[in-house]
Amino acid sequence: MQTIHDEKFASPETIRQGFQEQGFIASRQITTTAFLAYHLGKPLLVEGPAGVGKTELAKTTAAFLDLPLIRLQCYEGLDESKALYEWKYGKQLLYTQLLKDKLDSIIDRENGFAESIDKLHRYDDIFFSRHFLEPRPLLKALQQEGGAVLLVDEIDKADDEFEAFLLEILSDFQVSIPEIGTVSAITKPVVFLTSNNTRELSEALKRRCLHLFIPFPEPALERNIIRIRVPGISEKLGRQLVAFIQAVRQLEVRKAPSISETIDWARVLLILHAQELSPDLVRDTLNIFLKFEEDIAVVAERLHPLTAGAVRAAGD
């Protein structure tokens, strides 16, 4: 099916290089899983804490494969009409008004009532045809000729019913529209689902997907990410701030800082022309990577030992 992309997905190693060119540093676990998901033609369910690059993975894959990224953001109450398709009610209405005058000529007054109804029946399907169909992300992804990357973001926020409804699409890559029939994918899309684990997903859904858990990165990987994403930062400062963030993650905080926050912090430090971490500097910029008042208090308390520890760790 996706033979044109096979070369790009020839091995986990080529994927790693490709992703790196797109500015996404992937661990071996990520590339191997992406490799399998692509070759098995299975959706990939990505879980992990917020901000570790779940969505980024899908975006990168789209950019790497040069395919359009179709994104479906899930939320409570999301239903088929928002996710799959909707009839263009306005257009239907407008057309019926415009065609009102034609009605006389179609029905042809000479004939009896029964015959008129028969004639009308022949035009039944016009208003429920593809012309009046508004495709939403899922249908759009199936209709892309060259294939697409479909990202179903934060699936855990949607209701159980929606999850059940996704099953048909995920296993067969087709959907049933009662008025038209079954629509199958022209080219199977590459599907990513992400979840923040706010609730347990159903077994049925998990069974149909490959599963990838992205944890907080190892120090080495995180340093690498910072180097690529924030090019101007000095090697020393990069090491120090990664060590600091890693130490903060060990603390009891409500929301541990994730990669995206590390990157933000690195950018801020770059703008401030910081050369190395100092307690004062950290105190002034704590709110960049900690988003709760309590968390800031917890870290501020241990500011000196943490900073000293990070500087020491980076020195080794």
Partner 1 sequence: MDRVLSDFIISLRHAGVRISVSETLDALQSVRLVGYNDRETLRDALLAALPKSAPEKEIFARCFDHFFSFDYFADADATAGPDSAPVGAATDFSLTRTLLSGDRTALVMAMREAARAANLTDIQFFTQQSLYTLRILDGMGLPGLDASIQAMQANGSPGAGQQAAALEKARTFLVDNVRRYVAQQLTLNTPTAMENLLTSYLRHAKLSTLEQQHFQDMHIIIQRMVKRLNDLHSRRRKASRRGQLDFKKTLRKNITYQGFLFDLKWKKRKIERPDLVVICDVSRSVMRTVRFLLLFLYGLNKAIVRIRTFIFCSNLIEITSIFDEYPVEVAVEKIRLGADLPILMGRTDYDQSFRDFKANHLDSVSRKTTVLILGDARNNYAEAQTGILKTIYERSKRLIWLNPETPSFWGTGDSEMKKYIPFCSMVKECNTLHHLEGVVTSLVHRRH
Shortest Å, Cβ 121 to partner 1: 19
CA angle in degrees (0–180, nearest 5) for 267-25-221: 80
Alpha helices in the chain (DSSP H): 12-21, 28-40, 54-65, 80-83, 89-98, 100-107, 113-122, 137-143, 160-172, 203-208, 219-229, 235-250, 259-271, 279-289, 293-301, 303-315
**DSSP letter (8 states) at residue 218:** P
Among 1, 40, 103, 126, binds partner 1 (CB under 8 A): 40
Among 8, 14, 20, 42, binds partner 1 (CB under 8 A): 42
Rounded Cα–Cα distance for residues 300 and 239 (Å): 20
Closer residue to partner 1 (CB): 93 or 308: 93
What count of other Cβ atoms lies within 10 Å of the Cβ of residue 29? 13
**Residues with Cβ within 8 Å of residue 248, at least 6 apart in sequence:** 256, 257, 289, 290, 299, 306
The radius of gyration computed from the CA coordinates of the chain, to the nearest angstrom, equals 26
Shortest Å, Cβ 85 to partner 1: 16
Q: Is 272 in the site for partner 1 (CB under 8 A)?
A: no
End-to-end CA, the chain = 50
Total of residues contacting partner 1 (CB under 8 A) = 32
Report yes or no: 193 and 206 within 8 Å, Cβ to Cβ: no
> Which one, of 202, 113, 199, 193, lies nearest residue 164 by Cα?
202
Q: Is 221 in the site for partner 1 (CB under 8 A)?
A: no
Candidates 36-44, 107-115, 138-146, 242-250: pick the segment binding partner 1 (CB under 8 A).
Answer: 36-44
Closer residue to partner 1 (CB): 97 or 250: 97
Q: Is 213 in the site for partner 1 (CB under 8 A)?
A: yes
> Which one, of 142, 137, 185, 180, lies nearest residue 162 by Cα?
137
Among 115, 118, 160, 168, binds partner 1 (CB under 8 A): 160
Shortest Å, Cβ 80 to partner 1: 13
Shortest Å, Cβ 100 to partner 1: 11
Closer residue to partner 1 (CB): 212 or 266: 212
Q: Is 36 in the site for partner 1 (CB under 8 A)?
A: yes
**DSSP letter (8 states) at residue 87:** E
Q: Is 32 in the site for partner 1 (CB under 8 A)?
A: yes
Q: Is 129 in the site for partner 1 (CB under 8 A)?
A: no
Shortest Å, Cβ 177 to partner 1: 17
The footprint of partner 1 (CB under 8 A) covers 12, 28-29, 32-33, 35-37, 39-40, 42, 44-45, 47, 89, 92-93, 96, 159-161, 197, 200, 203, 206-213
